[in-house]
Structure 1
Amino acid sequence: MSGSLAFPSRAVANMMRRWNYREGSGLGAQGQGIVLPIRAVVRVRRRPKAGLGYREKPYDNGLHVPPEPPVDEECREWEDIARAMRLETECCETILALLHDMRLQRDDSVETADALKAVAKSKKALRGKRVPGTFKARLPPSAARYIIEQVIMPRMVAGVREWKPSSWDPDCGDWLRPWIPLIGHLPESLYDIVESKISNCGYEVVSPWKEYLNPVQWDTFSKRDILPYLTRLVREMRITPPKQTDPSFRTVMLWAPLVRAQDVMSILEAERFFDKWEGALRRWLQAAKPSLGEATAWCTGWKKLFTPELLTDESVLAHLDAGLDMVDPVMQDLDSLFSKL
């Protein structure tokens, strides 16, 4: 009987009365304790003997995604501004030093003198106004054009010919990155040679080029190199429950933010990814009869692998939800089976 002294020993009952316990109430100074006793609940799903306190261990399904550290958007915005200002200051100082060297080498042209004065004036503006784009905005168009054609381009042409892409220097620190604040993007005349050098490189080398190429160049590169690579990965991908051993999908999602989400979705649909995924899930459920927790963890684990952009696509969510809907009927059949045991 809940909240009753009918069954305890007489000594225990007397002690509880001395402490002002009243039948039907909970323990504690305010009677805040539980009244009904804890009930043992038997888990039916594939483990009929599991009871109170049972916890299924985490599933080693190869789909674990480490949690991302919290990001302070305002802090990140300030960091981006500070990074842009550092690069702009370095660009200004490098150009100023090169123009001084040209003067020391007896370049007495009016264009060099005017460019030198313009850069020196822009440098003063950088000190007072910490806004990205100040350096280029303060340069007269004629001075900017002269600097790009006579100072920067000869060095870029020589640099790109000798450049060998590597993961330890993806930013092209010597021949491209220092000039980005002034030129904006890779000059069109150098695109073909850059594409030929990065077309078969890994993510660490390719990813910075989304910033260095203009939108048209990046779209061209994506269609020629990235999308065919992702298509091949999806086509050859193996889906292996209960543990995903093929890392191809993680690689696809790593590259996905570099291209348009609709292009990635088109690849998944064209290569029948979701059909393969649902088929592998169905065969696993029918053959191995996993627990509800394991089957659900498999489906939700795949969902966590998708990029946020792809998860805004209703068709992606529909396919993933279809997997969870597939799990429930199988688990219900198992429940009815164990209930008869």
Structure 2
Amino acid sequence: MAISIDVSTLLDGNDSGENKPPNPSDMSGSFVFLPSRAVANMMRRWNYREGSGLGAQGQGIVAPIQAVVRVRRRPNSGLGYREKPYDNGLHVPPEPPVEECREWEDIAWAMRLETECCETILALLNGMRLQGDNSVETADALKAMAQSKNGLHRKRVLGTWKARLPSSTARYIIEQVITPRMAVDVREWKPSWDPDCHDWLRPLIPLIGHLPESLYGTVESKISNGDYEVVSPWKEYLSPVQWDTFSKHHILPMLTQLVREMRITPPKQTDPSFRTVMLWAPLLRAQDVVSILESEQFFAK
């Protein structure tokens, strides 16, 4: 629809004081816009002439603007884009299964932990030498750890680092170096600040295997009332016997009480007890969880 501007009456001074709106029947092919006197004077200062555009040279547009539809590009298009993948003739091996990738990640993580353990023990032994410990046992342990560290930088199998240590050296390090140091650290340990024991226990797990039995009582008193984030790492840090004792004394009674007091409210469950039980269940043996559900008549609720 073309648009035209009629300012002749206003430029001639014949403005009646109001601009009547156009009749809809006259708008079939064009639309006549009647500006006010102020607008007409402004257009005249811009050298407006009928049939020409605005501007000093009449360079303004006269015909209505026509929208141009642009072809939308594909989101992945660009230089060298092709609909089908380019076949360069090279053999691309398939991606390994997810389980295999996770196994590789676990092995890599365990090897990094072995390296950290070796460096931590070397730092403890060097600290003992600096404090005046010139015993033969400490010197032999320091020599054996230095030799084992050299093997960490070569291709190795997980667990061979500990196997290369003489049994007497490993026993001396655990009983005379690590355990006394841990006894001091566990008394100062705050579970809320370091729930995964990153500072004093986790780096030494590759050598000691689990928490020394002499420190179990102190650890139990600190984590017995802890939440899931505090308790869950200890399934790996405690020996199977220690964890079985801890779970029977603290986790099983808690879950039994939650199941006993649980309220089932269909269609929407409002009681969070079931979600809490399912969160803690992987920390227990399957038969223990089933025993709780059956004894508290969970399936009859």
Q: One fold, TM greater than 0.5?
A: yes
Paired AA for residue 285 in structure 2: R
Q: CA deviation at 1:105?
A: 3.0
Q: Deviations over 1:202-232 (max 9, x none)?
A: 1111111000001011110111011101001
Equivalent residue number for residue 166 of structure 2 = 140
Equivalent residue number for residue 190 of structure 1 = 215
Moved runs in structure 1, 4+ residues, more than 6 A? none
Q: Deviations over 1:81-126 (max 9, x none)?
A: 1111111101101111222222233322111111011001111122
Relative contact order, CA 8 A, sep 6+: which one is greater? 1
Is 1:216 paired with 2:241?
A: yes
Equivalent residue number for residue 229 of structure 2 = 204
List aligned pairs for 1:1-341, cutoff 5 A. 72-166=98-192, 169-276=194-301
Q: CA deviation at 1:274?
A: 0.6
Q: CA deviation at 1:145?
A: 1.3
Paired AA for residue 198 in structure 1: I
Q: Deviations over 1:203-262 (max 9, x none)?
A: 111111000001011110111011101001101111001111111111111111110111
Q: Deviations over 1:285-325 (max 9, x none)?
A: xxxxxxxxxxxxxxxxxxxxxxxxxxxxxxxxxxxxxxxxx
Query: What fraction of aligned residue pairs are identical, expressed as a percent?
Result: 82
Q: CA RMSD in A?
A: 1.3
- Cα distance between partner residues in 1 of 2:156 and 2:271: 48
Paired residue total: 205
Paired AA for residue 152 in structure 2: L
Paired AA for residue 205 in structure 2: I
- Specify the SS of the correspondent of 1:128: coil
- Cα distance between partner residues in 1 of 2:146 and 2:168: 15
Q: Is the 8 A contact 1:92 1:119 kept in 2?
A: yes
Q: CA deviation at 1:151?
A: 1.5
- Cα distance between partner residues in 2 of 1:129 and 1:146: 27
- Cα distance between partner residues in 2 of 1:104 and 1:190: 27
Task: Considering fraction of residues, name the structure with more helix.
Answer: 1
Q: CA deviation at 1:132?
A: 2.2
- Cα distance between partner residues in 1 of 2:156 and 2:276: 39
- Cα distance between partner residues in 2 of 1:129 and 1:137: 15
